Structure 1
Amino acid sequence: MAERILDVKNLKIDFHTYAGEVKAIRDVSFHLDKGETLAIVGESGSGKSVTTRALMGLLANNAEIKGGSIMFHDQDLLKKTEKEMQNIRGKDIAMIFQDPMTSLDPTMKIGMQIAEPLIKHKKIEKKKALAQALEIMKLVGIKDAEERINNYPHQFSGGQRQRIVIAIALVCYPEILIADEPTTALDVTIQAQILDLMKELQEKIETSIIFITHDLGVVAGMADRVAVMYAGEILEYGTVDEIFYNPQHPYTWGLLNSMPTLDSEELESIPGTPPDLLDPPKGDPFAPRNPYAMKIDAEEKPPYFQVSETHYAATWLLAPGAPAVTPPPEIQRRYKLYAEMMEQQKIGK
């Protein structure tokens, strides 16, 4: 059985604003095992980044944690002081932010920015830290690293800057790497290179990854498990194959149905907009946008129904006695592929 290194339970986070109290994270639970990649997916504003910033202790000043726990091994990160979190950030848990240009100090040479976590956390002298920074620059694929170690961020391309940010995050070999949409600002070719690099480095240093994205195409090649997030809640949770080929929540259907395929004549979209979390709905938060919604969806929040040992979905469509519905054709095609996969596995056994 895999070693569990992170366990988030019943996390609730509000933001105090002039308009009122925004209930941004509403009872979120998930876990992370050693060496695996968990993808958290969902539309913008679903709470993905807020959740991971809570893990790092980097929430805004107007945020208030209303409940829950974040257990890293046997210690609750929510009970740590800022000074204690500073000793954890960068050493045990590191983060790659969305925009590498705003993550780097424009006035500091790249080599020193990579070496800085080693000097702070590992107490390594500057000369040795710069030597290790040079090695990790080579590891992440920065060409002519010996010459470029003294360059500034503006002297690198977008893809190279992202590699540098990854080098900074990985230089102390953290147990957990949080990647918050790390390829958003990059073109498709560079995006593929960065994703391949992350998988390669993960194998080398045995780190666990939480990958935040709205791009399900990226998830397919990166993740072991997937949490589908919407309106501050996780609506579906399972292995990457279960989420891609046997999705159960209509929101997951909508996300998958909106992915372009070679056969797509036009892009599908999910109608409507996410709910206002100043006054969140009491039932299924996706109900107003759900063409399959029943009366109970607007009145009562669905529990998690178990689909398999690793697959859960919060939808009343899985309740005993719920009416049968016909998913979109693309989802039916995925169900068929999943059935064939399961049959092949039985034959293989």
Structure 2
Amino acid sequence: MEKLLDVKNLHVSFDTYGGEVKAVRGVNFDVKKGETLAIVGESGSGKSVTTKALMHLIPKPPGRIKEGEILFEGRDLAKMSEKQMQKIRGKEISMIFQDPMTSLNPTMKVGNQIMEGLIKHQKMSKPQARKRVVELLELVGIPDAENRMKQYPHQFSGGMRQRVVVAIALACNPKLLIADEPTTALDVTIQAQILELMKDIQKKTDSATIFITHDLGVVANVADRVAVMYAGKIVEVGTVDDIFYNPQHPYTWGLLGSMPSLDSADEELFAIPGTPPDLLDPPKGDAFAARNKYAMKIDFEQEPPMFKVSDTHYAATWLLHEHAPKIEPPEAVKKRMEGMANSSSSSEGERV
């Protein structure tokens, strides 16, 4: 598949009174046309900063893209001016934010908020834009669209507001959709509906998606590939099967092991010890070493390169070095992998 987005050696920093916070430190990834890439990691790992940098949405100052390339269809977004980005933002790349109430203007009817992008980017007349708004609201599953478009955000439930935000993001048929934890503020039932809606819309529009989340359970249902971030770096990347059934980085083991499971009889959840490092002064070597019980001396001295596991799977851990001891994932992770394999095979049986 052809690459739509290719991010190379991206560095993003924030200049604070305490010094330079190196929030994103040499990130590399790509997104192909029509695929969904999930970026996962704890709060503060750099997920949202990375994607906001793609759209020039980090506050300047204190934020800045320090180094790197953001190639979108061959054009380097990192070198574009704000005026140039305004023609791309909303039209070619759209973003769905975490909280719909901060994304919507409480003083404007939702129909007018969706029409704004259509009139500006698609050069539609008001009657054309109104007709398209009705189609979009129906597409995202809002009934009685002609009447609902005349209402204000406070007249919608949380799930319906998020559907309106999805409609705004889709209004100009973007080639790339960035979803920044779009279901975090919603209850589990509505969360599942929004995720199903996004999958369905992606099939219909053939757009690519970057899905940011800290919830690996969400990833299994929506993504084609997964990039695991820690301390401003991508530490493992692969297909969903690579990450869930053959994880290689101890941090990925920790994320998988800490997932609650309805199938497990264990009362105790596996937890990653310690806290992420201070990116005002990033640690030498592997940033995860201090929290990694499998860390070796080299982890505290040298940063590991990305080792190739397969053509689709790479991980930055010295455990993959040919001279490293062979370490098995913890039992909690093995159980989680077995549970997911069992649920996957039973789902396949039901479909057959």
Whether the TM-score (by the shorter chain) exceeds 0.5 is yes
Q: Is the 8 A contact 2:244 2:337 kept in 1?
A: no
Q: Is the 8 A contact 2:97 2:103 kept in 1?
A: yes
Query: RMSD in angstroms over aligned alpha carbons?
Result: 1.5
TM (norm. structure 2) is 0.94
What's the secondary structure of 1:308's corresponding residue? coil
- Give distance in 2, aligned partners of 1:54 and 1:25: 10
When residues 255 and 338 of structure 1 are mapped into structure 2, their CA distance, relative to the original with a 3 A threshold, is: closer
- Give distance in 2, aligned partners of 1:137 and 1:29: 36
1:83-127: CA deviation from partner (whole Å, max 9, x where unpaired): 110000000000000000010000100001011111000111112
User: How far off its partner does 1:326 sit?
Assistant: 3.1
- Give distance in 1, aligned partners of 2:16 and 2:193: 40
1:7-50: CA deviation from partner (whole Å, max 9, x where unpaired): 00000111000111000000000000000000000000000000
Amino acid at match of 1:290: N
TM (norm. structure 1) is 0.95
User: How far off its partner does 1:336 sit?
Assistant: 6.6
Q: What residue is the counterpart of 1:253 in the other structure?
A: 253
Q: What residue is the counterpart of 1:165 in the other structure?
A: 165
User: How far off its partner does 1:130 sit?
Assistant: 1.2
What's the secondary structure of 2:59's corresponding residue? coil
Q: How does 1:186-201 map to 2 (within 5 A)?
A: 186-201=186-201
- Give distance in 1, aligned partners of 2:22 and 2:100: 29
In structure 1, stretches of 5+ residues that fail to align are 342-349
- Give distance in 2, aligned partners of 1:12 and 1:131: 43
Q: Is the 8 A contact 2:46 2:231 kept in 1?
A: yes
Aligned residue among 283, 286, 297 for 2:285: 283
- Give distance in 2, aligned partners of 1:123 and 1:43: 41
Amino acid at match of 1:244: F
Aligned residue among 306, 321, 325 for 1:304: 306
Amino acid at match of 2:258: S
1:131-168: CA deviation from partner (whole Å, max 9, x where unpaired): 10111001101111111110000000000000000000
- Give distance in 1, aligned partners of 2:120 and 2:258: 45
Give the aligned length: 340
- Give distance in 1, aligned partners of 2:294 and 2:67: 32
Q: How does 1:235-246 map to 2 (within 5 A)?
A: 235-246=235-246
Q: What residue is the counterpart of 2:38 in the other structure?
A: 39
User: How far off its partner does 1:331 sit?
Assistant: 2.8
Q: Is the 8 A contact 1:25 1:51 kept in 2?
A: yes
- Give distance in 1, aligned partners of 2:259 and 2:108: 40
The share of aligned pairs that are identical, in percent, is: 67
1:226-265: CA deviation from partner (whole Å, max 9, x where unpaired): 0000000000000000001100000000000000112131
Q: What residue is the counterpart of 2:220 in the other structure?
A: 220
1:203-247: CA deviation from partner (whole Å, max 9, x where unpaired): 001100000000000000000000000000000000000001100
Q: What residue is the counterpart of 1:8 in the other structure?
A: 7
Q: After TM superposition, what 4+ stretches of structure 1 lie above 2 angstroms from structure 2?
A: 330-341
1:154-198: CA deviation from partner (whole Å, max 9, x where unpaired): 000000000000000001110000000000000000000000000
What's the secondary structure of 1:276's corresponding residue? coil
Q: Is the 8 A contact 1:117 1:171 kept in 2?
A: yes
- Give distance in 2, aligned partners of 1:338 and 1:213: 19
